[in-house]
Homo-oligomer: A and B are copies of this chain.
């Protein structure tokens, strides 16, 4: 039996325990895990330092190292995250509907745990704590498979959690980490049907595509965001300026940042030079169509590829469109279905944009940066789904659950 199947079996057994665990017990376990994390701080930071040193020795640098590195502050945030999840409402057990049929059968739809959740992620040790906390609160066991560069850290963190769980009388199958970080085990995990109920990749486009292409376990696709803002003829230019600058520059590396700006042709003389200059002052490179290049000094010509690119950087593609129809058409062609916004004072155009643009989140007169579980009031999120099945948009605790029908009968049979 492979290690992964053994982990799958353990996780399924743990899921049975979790499925009927009272909320107070789950919260207690989460708080205990948070304490244990802080108590083991030295130990975890030591393991992390070894991971970071090995990564640097392998020539890795920059943002990757930053994401890999744990500090006192980050560990405290991880612990605080677990306590926050404990404070959220338990989604399990909610009865979504209940009705009595003509034949007297009473049928209810009840929210129940998913069972076993798989998470494949990159070298960000904080995901280990986040995913564990959310899955536990949602009543599911989790099998984690993190990037190889963080393996020492992840192992240590999971050991700490397992010890805390054991002290609460809970099985270690509640949270497990895949120790062998080879590509083969990742591929095996993607085909662990019968053990995993869902697989959620968290990371860059490459990781997500690999999971989508290879997984036979149901996947929730997260993340890629080629987000547009269309500034309509009737836009309040002050609002438009503020929204575009915020969506592009407040945190350019994230999936809900704006990547592409569409401007109504009637604003080519007014708003376009103004926003171009303001973006450039914030160190944003403007890649534009012909009109943009004429109106924005320093803008460079955009290629076809630019319209489809999620830069996740200080770059924006910019195009002038004839009207709302052309804006919607452009978005339809290049959207990744994440977040799309219009800035307009025209009621009908606002409603049309909301109705006709097909994305997880569609905005009128607000920054796309709000697409986030925390901002939406979910308390926490496991990721942002850009697929249409199961969950769309920020996924909180509810999106980590499923439902079952419960039927109360009195001897009914089907005629």
Contact = CB atoms under 8 A, between A and B. Distances in A.
A389 B402 contact: yes
A367 B411 CA distance: 8
Contacts of A389: 197-198, 218, 220, 389-390, 402
Q: How many copies does the complex hold?
A: 2
A65 interface: no
B115 A404 contact: no
Contacts of A377: 99, 101, 107
A332 B245 CA distance: 54
A183 interface: no
A402 B358 CA distance: 11
Contacts of A309: none
Contact of A218 (B114, B356, B387, B414): B387
A393 B405 contact: yes
B358 A413 contact: no
A374 B339 CA distance: 37
A370 B242 contact: no
Please indicate which of the listed interface residues A107, A112, A221 has the most CB atoms of chain B within 10 Å of its own CB.
Answer: A107
Contacts of A101: 375-377
Contact of A361 (B19, B212, B218, B407): B407
Interface string A398-415: 000011111111111110
Contact of A404 (B197, B361, B365, B376): B361
A393 B109 CA distance: 10
B366 A105 contact: yes
A173 B277 CA distance: 45
Given A369-B414, A413-B242, A413-B243, A114 B388 contact: yes
Interface in A200-249: 212-213, 216, 218-221, 236, 238-239, 242-243, 245-247
B414 A19 contact: no
A135 interface: no
A242 to B, nearest CB: 6
A193 interface: yes
A19 B407 contact: no
A411 B236 contact: yes
A392 to B, nearest CB: 6
A362 interface: yes
A245 B413 CA distance: 9
Given A363-B409, A407-B364, A375 B414 contact: yes
Interface of A: 16, 19-20, 99, 101, 105, 107, 112, 114-115, 193, 197-198, 212-213, 216, 218-221, 236, 238-239, 242-243, 245-247, 250, 332, 354-356, 358-367, 369-371, 375-377, 387-390, 392-393, 402-414
Given A376-B405, A393-B405, 18 more contacts: A19-B358, A101-B375, A101-B376, A107-B377, A212-B216, A218-B221, A218-B387, A220-B389, A238-B411, A242-B411, A243-B413, A245-B413, A247-B413, A362-B405, A362-B407, A363-B409, A364-B407, A393-B403
